[in-house]
Structure 1
Amino acid sequence: MSNMLNAVHKRIFGTSVMLFCMGLLGACSGVDITPAATETFAATNYTRYAWRSEPLSQTGYSKDMLAIKSPSIRAGVEEKMAQLGYRRVDRAEAEFLVEYFATPGYNDGQLSHGGSNDMLYGSSVNRQIDGASANNALALSRPVETGDMQLVFFDAATNDVLWRVQISIVVEDANRIDHDEVRNAVGKGVSALPPVRDL
């Protein structure tokens, strides 16, 4: 009996550790999601949507980052909306419309003065700050470039704003867009919506 209890305890502990590590990975992903309250949108019981504007045209040598990100943004929205039970339809049949806006931005990092992370060595004997802490302190002491995006849902009949979500992604390489990261970040933002209810 005690062996069985030990096995159960080990399994619970292992699962807890795995969930904790997954939480840490999510916290360090460089994506910040700020959704608005969903009550107004949920009260409509709308299920059919369309894009408010046509896809942005992109020439072969375009430097327009929004045009380059546009396919990934749309793919992220459409994938998550389908998972939640919403249907994309022609604009004439849509109950609500989806639009997105994107701009570059900067997140002002702050260095914690007087703390142990602003020096390479702590004040206690035999206490040395690890390299990762020192690197984090230096990285957070200057502005970090971000890609800021906002998804806005409009009522197709009245044009009233039903819901919005702000998405901010840390830019690792200004010359290259990580399309998987953009699509995943947009999916995380849309996941704040309630799933379609069975009527």
Structure 2
Amino acid sequence: MARTTDEPSSAGGARSDRAARVAAMQKAERARAGRRRAALIAVPTVVVLAVAGVVTAVFVNRPEPPSLDAVTTADYEASVHVTEPVTYEETPPMGGPHYSVWLNCGIYDAPVPNENAVHSMEHGAVWITYRPDLPVEQVEELKDAVSGQTYTVLSPYEGLPSPIVLSAWNNQLPVESADDPRIDAFLSKFVQGAQTPEPGALCSNGVGTPTG
């Protein structure tokens, strides 16, 4: 009688099973790799979106800069030097004829000559004047505002139209209080600003002895 065997078919079945298991493992590995790639992409995306959200929030919530629409202007010619006191149109002046020597920039506890201070403004200084009866705490706040500034003059002034007046060459702003945010805005724009007739000119080595 002839003998039969099922060994070849068993081997073929085993190979088929192994191939199926290998294919399943490869499929699972591809799936895991895909999930890893997705995670690697997702994390930077989340970070970018978070940063973008923060930046957007900063810009959206950033307060509008104070308006300087109330600034009045003039059109005085520069470099007009005189030797006699001048009667100015504005109180305090914001330009016009002036003495040939400028006022040293800084803080003064007493009134300063108009004609010297106007020359300082020609050099790019901002002159902050205040009524002599301005409360002490507000005067101190003004001193803080100009602290470290090399092109500012701060001094009391009789007869001002408002408690505080800020003047630059051909530009002037009256304010009611030392905590007015327009003070910093005015300083930022006009200290050695585009209005300066003589940019780069000194605000020291002139006349006057500031206290600060």
Q: TM-score range by the shorter chain?
A: 0.3 to 0.5
With structure 1 as the length reference, what TM-score do the two structures score?
0.35
TM-score by length of 2: 0.34
Report which of the two has the higher share of strand: 1
